């Protein structure tokens, strides 16, 4: 039997491709008085592809290594070893200088928009700033256009983040990322802090944007019901290892690993249907 943890054979070309990725952190809790801290391996040889133009879910229990793996994809972290190919080019061990031209292409949307958005800046400026930084303009019109694309009124450009609801702030986070027209977006638990109805709206928006713009995205979530409705593919992590990966329908309909089965059994009933995603 071909096990689903094997290196994937995607029909679509991979925008990002990871092979035998390993990463460890110093374990400060067990650091001896003298000498360096021992290291704990957090990613234990991951191999997976992020196909172009699709949404790939990364799921697993808390501490399984989802965020760490995501941060390697956008090269906020450098792996200890292994290969990370972006559009066929190795980026895993590039220096910060060499990464600079790639930074606009590898964007991230954070879980907590309040901590990632400067509370003293108005929304228009928050969206325009990265555009300026990357030499892509940064006009009020661009900010307003980005707001409209995420379903917010253009005059929200004059609001401060604290004058928005959680769901609206998360839309601003999305607007900020897509305005840059990146080639890859990492979304790390971006709906976990929202109530169910705001979650549904943000996910519906992402689904529309992905279809309209052909986004390539990795979507980290501990919630399999969210992954099922949003993603094309899923990677299931457990303790720094991939226990299963493949197209969403395949993994959900015929889960191979006990870990996936346990995660699936934790999906609350009644199962969400597509109406859940209506605006
Ligand atoms: N900077 C760091 N230094 C030391 N250990 C870290 C660091 N970042 C993460 N870890 C550890 O690495 C492991 C994986 O963490 P990671 O945040 O990737 O997991 P996760 O699956 O995203 O979890 P969660 O769903 O809780 O966010 C955890 O044991 C965590 O404590």
Q: In this structure, what token pair is assigned to residue 82?
A: 């292994």
Distance CA(94)–CA(104), nearest Å, equals: 15
Res 10: pLDDT: 53
- 215 domain-assigned: yes
| Domain encompassing residue 87 | 14-28+36-113+186-277
Q: Is 64 in the pocket of ligand 1 (CB under 6 A)?
A: yes
What totals of helices (H) and strands (E) does the chain contain, helices first?
10, 10
Instruction: Compute, in angstroms, the gap from residue 64 CA to the centroid of ligand 1.
Output: 7
Of 102, 87, 3, nearest to 49 by C-alpha is 87
Res 33: pLDDT: 85
Instruction: Compute, in angstroms, the gap from residue 122 CA to the centroid of ligand 1.
Output: 32
- 124 domain-assigned: no
Give the three-state DSSP class for 143. helix
Res 269: pLDDT: 54
Question: DSSP string spanning 200-232?
Answer: HHHHHHHHHHHHHHT--EEEEES-HHHHHHH-S
Q: How much helix, strand and coil, in percent to the nearest 5, is found in the chain?
A: 40, 25, 35
Whole-prediction pTM: 0.90
Q: How far is CA 194 from CA 147, 172, 197, 207, 274, in A?
A: 19, 14, 8, 17, 19
Res 279: pLDDT: 45
Tally of domains within the chain: 1
Q: In this structure, what token pair is assigned to residue 68?
A: 């760490």
Instruction: Compute, in angstroms, the gap from residue 186 CA to the centroid of ligand 1.
Output: 16
- 132 domain-assigned: no
- 150 domain-assigned: no
- 131 domain-assigned: no
Q: What is the mean pLDDT of each run of 10 residues along the chain (279 residues)?
A: 49 90 92 88 97 96 95 97 96 95 93 79 95 94 96 96 92 94 95 89 92 93 90 96 96 93 77 51
- Residue nearest atom 31 of ligand 1, based on CA coordinates: 63
Res 187: pLDDT: 95
Query: 79: number of CA atoms within 13 Å, CB side?
Result: 26
Q: What angle do CA 226, 164, 56 make, to 5 degrees?
A: 25
Distance CA(42)–CA(277), nearest Å, equals: 34
CATH number of the domain encompassing residue 247:
3.40.50.300
**ipTM > 0.95 (yes/no):** yes
Q: Which atom of ligand 1 is nearest to the CA of 222?
A: 25
- Residue nearest atom 28 of ligand 1, based on CA coordinates: 63
- 174 domain-assigned: no
């Amino acid at each position: 039997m071909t096990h689903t943890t094997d290196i994937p054979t995607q029909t679509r070309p991979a925008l990002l491709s990871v092979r035998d990725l390993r990463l460890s952190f110093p374990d400060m809790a067990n650091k001896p008085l003298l000498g360096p801290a021992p290291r704990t391996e957090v990613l234990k040889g991951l191999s997976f592809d992020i196909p172009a133009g699709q949404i790939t879910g990364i799921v697993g229990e808390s501490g399984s290594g989802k965020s760490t793996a995501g941060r390697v994809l956008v090269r906020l972290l450098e792996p200890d070893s292994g290969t990370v190919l972006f559009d066929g080019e190795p980026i895993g061990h590039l220096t910060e200088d060499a990464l600079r031209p790639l930074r606009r292409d590898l964007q991230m949307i954070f879980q907590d928009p309040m901590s990632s958005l400067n509370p003293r800046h108005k929304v228009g400026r928050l969206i325009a700033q990265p555009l300026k930084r990357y030499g892509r303009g940064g006009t009020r019109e661009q900010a307003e256009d980005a707001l409209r694309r995420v379903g917010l009124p253009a005059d929200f450009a004059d609001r401060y983040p604290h004058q928005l609801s959680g769901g609206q702030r998360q839309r601003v986070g999305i607007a900020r990322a897509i305005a840059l027209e990146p080639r890859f977006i990492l979304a790390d638990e971006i709906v976990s802090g929202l109530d169910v109805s705001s979650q549904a709206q943000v996910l519906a928006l992402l689904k529309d944007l992905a279809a309209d713009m052909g986004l390539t995205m990795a979507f980290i979530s501990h919630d399999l019901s969210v992954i099922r409705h949003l993603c094309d593919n899923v990677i299931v992590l457990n303790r720094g290892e991939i226990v299963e990966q493949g197209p969403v329908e395949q993994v959900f309909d015929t889960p191979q690993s006990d870990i996936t089965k346990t995660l699936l059994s934790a999906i609350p009933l009644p199962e969400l249907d597509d109406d859940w995603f209506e605006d």
